[in-house]
Chain A
Amino acid sequence: QKEVEQDPGPLSVPEGAIVSLNCTYSNSAFQYFMWYRQYSRKGPELLMYTYSSGNKEDGRFTAQVDKSSKYISLFIRDSQPSDSATYLCAMNSGGYQKVTFGTGTKLQVIP
C-alpha cells in the first residue's frame, strides 16, 4: 500500500463549480501538507501548504487537513478554465525530510 493515495481522476467540472480534491495517507509522522499544481508538459509548482491540522485559505483555494483521519483536501471555489491541471498532494514529516507525493488528480474545468 502506498503512503499517499490520491484518486487520479480525471475530474471534469463546469466553470464556476466548487471542486474538491482529496488525499489519504498512512504515515502519522507527516506534519507538512502541500498541494502542487502541474500544467500539461510542465513541472509541478507549489500552490499551498499547511502545517499540522486545520484550514488555510488563499483566494479561491482552501486547504484542509484532518490528521485524526489522515485525510487532506483542496477546495477550489468558482473554478476557472485556467485551473485545468493536475493537482498533486505532497507531505513530509518536517525537519527537511524528503517529500512524498500523491499520484495526482487531473482536473478539467469546462467553459
Chain B
Amino acid sequence: DAGVIQSPRHEVTEMGQEVTLRCKPISGHDYLFWYRQTMMRGLELLIYFNNNVPIDDSGMPEDRFSAKMPNASFSTLKIQPSEPRDSAVYFCASSNRGLAGYNEQFFGPGTRLTVL
C-alpha cells in the first residue's frame, strides 16, 4: 500500500486566497483525521471522520475552515479566506478500527502551508 497520500506537499499563497488540501487515506481504513502542527502548539486535531461522517469538529479553529469526505478514498480541508496565522504543516492520518483498543494512526507526509 502507498500509505496516506497528501497533496500538495507545499503550498505558498497570499492572505485572503482559498486553500484546498487533499488527502487519500489507506484503503480499508474507516477513520480519517486532519491535524495541524506548529512549533508553538504542537499537533492539534482539527476534525475526524468515521465512515465518511464527521464525528468531532471541535478543533476546527474558525468558520474559515471546512472539511469534507465525499467518499472513503478522498477528503479535503479548505481554508477560505486564508490568513498568515494559518501557516503550519497540515497532516492527514487514517486508521482502522481493529481488535486493538489503542488507536494507531497512519500519517501522511503533510502539507506545508505558508500564507504571506
Query: Which residues of A line the B interface, CB within 8 A?
Result: 6, 31-32, 34, 41-46, 49, 51, 88, 92, 94-104
Contacts and interface: CB of A to CB of B under 8 A. Distances in A.
Contacts of B104: 34, 46, 49
Interface in B63-116: 91, 93, 97, 101-105, 107-110
Contacts of A34: 102, 104
Contacts of A88: 42-43
Given A98-B48, A101-B43, A43 B102 contact: no
Contacts of A103: 41-43
B4 interface: yes
How would you classify the secondary structure of chain A's contact residues: helix, strand, loop or mixed?
A: loop
Contacts of B93: 43
B19 interface: no
B42 A95 contact: no
A103 B48 CA distance: 19
A95 B107 contact: no
B53 interface: no
A45 B97 contact: no
Contacts of B105: 44, 46, 99
Given A34-B102, A102-B42, A104-B42, A96 B107 contact: no
Most buried by A among B42, B91, B93, B103: B103
Nearest to A31: B101
B46 to A, nearest CB: 11
16 contacts: A6-B42, A32-B103, A41-B109, A43-B4, A45-B107, A49-B102, A51-B101, A51-B102, A96-B101, A98-B103, A99-B45, A101-B43, A101-B45, A103-B42, A104-B42, A104-B43
